[in-house]
Each structure stands twice: as C-alpha cells, then as structure tokens.
Structure 1
Amino acid sequence: MTQSLSKEELFTPYLCGLVADLLQIKGLKLVTAESCTGGMISAACTDLAGSSNWFDRGFVTYSNDAKTELLGVEERLLRRAGAVCEGVARAMVEGALAHSHAQVAVAVTGVAGPTGGSPAKPVGTVWFGFAVPGQVVTEKCHFDGDRAQVRAATVRHALARLVELLG
C-alpha cells in the first residue's frame, strides 16, 4: 500500500530544488539557524542528493544558551525581548553567516505550540531572518494549526522567501 503525499508535502522538496538551483547558479552556499523548527529546514535541504554543493551547515539553537553560544545572540537581548522577536531573528541570521562559510542564511524563531504562547506572541508566531549578499530582511508571520502544521508552514515559508530573495 502506498500513501500519497499532500500538496504541501510535495511543495517542500520542490522549493528546496529551486533554492539549490539558484544557489548553484550564483555560486553561493546556505546556512540555517533554527529554533522552533529544530533542524527541519536543514533536513529538507539535505534530503536532496548533492546538497553538499550548496548547503554549508545548520545550527539548531533551540535554547537561549545555544543562541548565545553558537550564534552570538546577546543575552541582554534575549532577556529584554524574549527569543521570539525581530532582534533575535536578525542576530541569529547574522550570527549564522559569521560562524559559517556561507553567503546566504535563514533563521527562524517562533512559538510552535501547543504551549508557550502569550497574548503578545500567540502560538503560531514566527520571526524569520534572511541574509543574501547585500541584504538582511526580517519578517513576522503567523501560522494556524497544531505544532506540526506550524513547523511545516515555517519550513515552506522560509524556502519560498529564499527563492524570492535569490531569484
């Protein structure tokens, strides 16, 4: 018995392929810095054969200590604003670039749920940081659904925005 994949499940490998093609055409490498996705973006990228040609490394920085130790995110920022904010997404993406051999980076930090949300940062809130040569972009999104759906939507959005920014 074979199980068919949903459109969303098919879309992620497609997006990864586009990212891979764009990076290779431009001679660039990608690094990821992930909190709420726990390495899912890296896993999606490295599912593609030949990804070592364009994928440098991934940082899974789930704890605040990991964000500070591996990416250089300032403890003061984490204490003041919390891990899910624009400043942390920006610091994560810049730290990923600084601690890698990549020229392109994506960072995600969010509240995947089902717990951990607040009125200011409800479950489904995700901050993204993107760095491409000459540009750093941050943005906030909100995704509906359970933990798995929020995390999957975060991966798809990260890859789709990379395609846009690299295209």
Structure 2
Amino acid sequence: MVGKPASAATTATDAARRVIELLTDANRTMVTAESCTGGMLAAALTDIPGASEAFFGGYVTYANEAKSRMIHVQARLIRDYGAVSNQVARAMADGARNTAHCDYAVAVTGIAGPDGGSEKKPVGLVYIAVSTELATVVIEHTFGDLGRAEIRKASVAAALELVIEVLTSTND
C-alpha cells in the first residue's frame, strides 16, 4: 500500500515516542544539550505523555560561554576546533550526561544559518553526539542550505534517530 509520506513533525513525534518508550522500558534517563536547535529536541521529547519517567531535562547552551559554564565544555576545545565540531559535540554530550547524572545524553551543535557558515563549515553542518557510560558516538550531518527552520527540524529528527540506534544497540 502506498500512503502519503509522513511529515517531518509526525516522524519526529514518532521517534520521540520511541525514545521515551525505550528509555522507560530500560529504566534509564536521558538529558539533552542543544545549541543550534535551541531546545527543540527537549520540546519534542516533552511533547510525549509520560516523558517525565525518562527525560531528566535539557541544557540550551547556545552561547559558547554557556557550553563551558553549564556543561563544562573546555574553552580550549571551542577555541581550537570551533563550537561546531566533532570534539565540542562529544564534550557537550559527555558534559551534560555527567552534570545531570543521567544514563544517556544527546547533544546537537551546528550552523543553522542563514549566516555563520564558511567554506570549511557551511550552513547546514551539524554534529550530533550521544553519550553513554561506555562510549560516545558523534555523527556529522551536512543538511545543506535548506533554510534555518528546516535545518533545525532535520537536526532534531537526526538526533532522535541516533538516540534510537544507540538505545536499541545497547539494549540488545
């Protein structure tokens, strides 16, 4: 049967529901650390009834100083690699998980545009990291110049999908 393609909102809602189910079933907690998504990931998770069973909360660390002060990202990492980097995404996820004392953390940092991009780091470049006690996974995405709102939505959807991948691989 061919149906109408799911909207990004429906997909994100379904993915957020799955994340909450997986965390709740495993009796685990998760925290978010967001930069370019500005709390949209936490909002997607808290839209799900019963999220309080597994979702601890979120840090919106939009400014570089907020990353350092709130979740202990070393200023040296930001200076040496830039706020939008594999290294900072990893440090955000690890810092949020350790600060909140949660089982999992997901972090998002990127360039949503319309300004701020460069040849080396174009608009649409986003790093997503998931931290667990055993490892931290970081994925680089290049969404292109879809426009600010669409890059942020795509980042939330990609973050939720990565969390699902990590949760299903660690719960097998």
TM bin, normalised by shorter chain, reads over 0.9
Per-residue CA distance 1:67-109 (angstroms, 9 max, x = gap):
0000111111111111000110011000001110310110011
Gaps of 5+ in 2: none
Q: Which amino acid aligns with 1:141?
A: H
Are residue 98 (structure 1) and residue 84 (structure 2) matched?
no
Per-residue CA distance 1:33-85 (angstroms, 9 max, x = gap):
00000000000000111111000010000000000000111111111111000
Report runs of 4+ in structure 1 exceeding 3 Å deviation.
Answer: none
Aligned to 1:159: 160
Which has the larger displacement, 30-39 or 132-141?
132-141
Aligned to 2:67: 67
What displacement does 1:132 show?
Answer: 2.8
Determine helix, strand or coil for the equivalent of 1:126: strand
Taking only aligned residues, the RMSD between alpha carbons, in angstroms, comes to 1.2
Aligned to 1:12: 12
Determine helix, strand or coil for the equivalent of 2:36: coil
Identity %: 43
Determine if contact 1:132/1:166 at 8 Å carries over to the other structure.
Answer: no
Task: Quote the Cα distance in structure 2 between the aligned partners of 1:139 and 1:6.
Answer: 24
Determine if contact 1:19/1:163 at 8 Å carries over to the other structure.
Answer: yes
> CA, structure 1 residues 6+146, in 2 after alignment: closer, same or farther (shift >3 Å)?
farther
Task: Quote the Cα distance in structure 2 between the aligned partners of 1:156 and 1:123.
Answer: 18
Q: How does 1:121-140 map to 2 (within 5 A)?
A: 121-140=121-140
Gaps of 5+ in 1: none
Are residue 89 (structure 1) and residue 85 (structure 2) matched?
no
Q: Which amino acid aligns with 1:147?
A: R
Aligned to 2:118: 118
Q: Which amino acid aligns with 1:53?
A: E
Which has the larger displacement, 127-136 or 80-89?
127-136
Q: How many residues align?
A: 163
Which has the larger displacement, 31-40 or 78-87?
78-87
Aligned to 2:40: 40
Aligned to 2:143: 143
Determine helix, strand or coil for the equivalent of 2:33: strand
| TM-score (normalizing by structure 1) | 0.94
